[in-house]
Amino acid sequence: MPRRPPRHTPRSVEEIIGTVARRFQRAKLYFGHGTETARDEAAWLVGHALKIAPDKLVGRLNKPVPPAALKKIGALTKARIQTRQPLAYLLKEAWFAGRKFHVDERVIVPRSLTGEFIAEQFQPWIEPKRVRRILDLCTGSGCMAIACAQAFPRARVDAADLSGEALAVARLNVKRHRLGRRVRLVRSDLFQALKGQRYDVIVTNPPYVARAEMKNLPREYLHEPELALVSGRDGLDAVVRILADAPRHLNPGGILVGEVGNSAPTLQRKFPSAPFVWLTTSTGDESVFLLTAEQLKQHRKEFNDHM
């Protein structure tokens, strides 16, 4: 009786990525916590197992995958499918603005679009040389605060969050990036613990999900802390408080940059006369707004009326 040929087992990085991506597609996973497609997520998982940074993976696609790494890839793939946890939690890592950060279930997975504008030093809306103090409000893992500190090497950065657990994660990341002298962690319910503090730039990626939306979110989101996602009936409770209080905490000529995701149209309808500048990312997204200190003061009454 003729022998069957041995079954082909994918061995190269390229083949393994393809195999993992197909498994993810069949499982109908949701992607949006650092990746947008099954292949991108598979590449991240495989690169992690091989200890290869995402920007170095392309040059290694034809390399063989060692057996120990194959075993790890298989276990991670199975866990991602069975638990529906965001991959970042399984890997205990996330990438933001080209840098790696520790993340776990105490913080939401970094996916802010603001990183693109941090890298550009918020030009042309502010002169980078004059930026000396920055606030990252609702800092979570601390990724935006750290990215700001690296983009503005002369600035001191306050990283504020209501969650003590989130600040514990941020502390790990500040230490990892050796920025303890310039990034200060503050436990604060928005601006409450920051009385008298003024900044040249305030960045924020606050909670902006409407309460009713939570039940319709993919399962992956249910692993994230609700405190960092939900913000009242229309998703804008925290954003409105920030808009109302920011004028007291910005220096003349300062700017507020806030990310509101799919709540952007609701925010614009709520404040139709506010001169929001909607920043456009390289992919065409427009869910990050910018307002100057002067514009915030001019519309303070309107914002306060909705508190």
Q: What SS3 state is found at 236? A: coil
Q: How far apart are CA 151 and CA 145, in angstroms?
A: 10
Which pLDDT tens digit goes with each residue over 238-267? Answer: 999 999 999 999 999 999 999 999 899 999
Peptide bond into 207 cis (omega under 30): no
Task: Check if CATH label 1.10.8 holds for domain 13-91.
Answer: yes
Q: Which amino acid is at 203?
A: V
From CA 41, how far away is CA 73, in angstroms rounded?
A: 12
pLDDT exceeds 70 at position 6: no
Assess contact for 136 and 159: CB atoms under 8 A: yes
Q: Tell me, yes or no, if the two domains 13-91 and 107-304 fold the same way.
A: no
Q: Are 116 and 63 in contact (CB under 8 A)?
A: no
Beta bridge partners of 157: 134, 183
Rounded distance, CA 20 to CA 74, Å? 8
Q: What is the pLDDT of residue 4?
A: 54
Is 24 a residue whose pLDDT tops 70? yes
CATH code given to domain 107-304: 3.40.50.150
Q: How many CB atoms lie within 10 A of CB 68?
A: 9
Strands 156-161, 133-137: pairing kind: parallel
Query: What b-and-e string marks burial along 81-102, b requiring 16 or more CB atoms within 10 Å of the CB?
Result: eeebbbbbbbbebbbbbebbbb
User: Please, which pLDDT band fits residue 306 given cuts at 50, 70 and 90?
Assistant: confident
pLDDT digits over 143-200, tens only? Answer: 999 999 999 999 999 999 999 999 999 999 999 999 999 999 999 999 999 999 999 9
Extents of the domains making up the chain: 13-91, 107-304
pLDDT class for 53, splitting at 50, 70, 90? Answer: confident
φ, ψ dihedrals at 264, nearest 5°: -55, -50
Q: Name the amino acid, one letter, at 180.
A: G
- Bridge partners of 204, per DSSP, are 137, 258
Average pLDDT, the chain: 93
CA 152, 158, 162, 165 torsion-angle sign: positive
Using an 8 Å Cβ cutoff, are 238 and 190 in contact?
yes
The pTM assigned to this predicted structure is: 0.91
Measured distance between the N- and C-terminal CA atoms of the chain, rounded to whole angstroms:
81
Q: Do the Cβ atoms of 96 and 110 come closer than 8 Å?
A: yes
Beta strands 183-187 and 156-161 are parallel
Location of structure tokens 């992690």: 48
pLDDT for residue 195: 95
CB atoms within 10 A of CB 66: 12
pLDDT tens by residue, 166-177 = 999 999 999 999
pLDDT of residue 7: 53
- Say how far apart CA 126 and CA 215 lie, in whole Å: 40
Interior/surface letters 20-38, b for 16+ CB within 10 angstroms, e for the rest: bbebbeeeebebebbbeeb
Is-contact 116 281, C-beta < 8 A? yes
| Sign (positive or negative) of CA dihedral 304, 229, 190, 142 | negative
Neighbours of 168 (CB within 10 A): 13
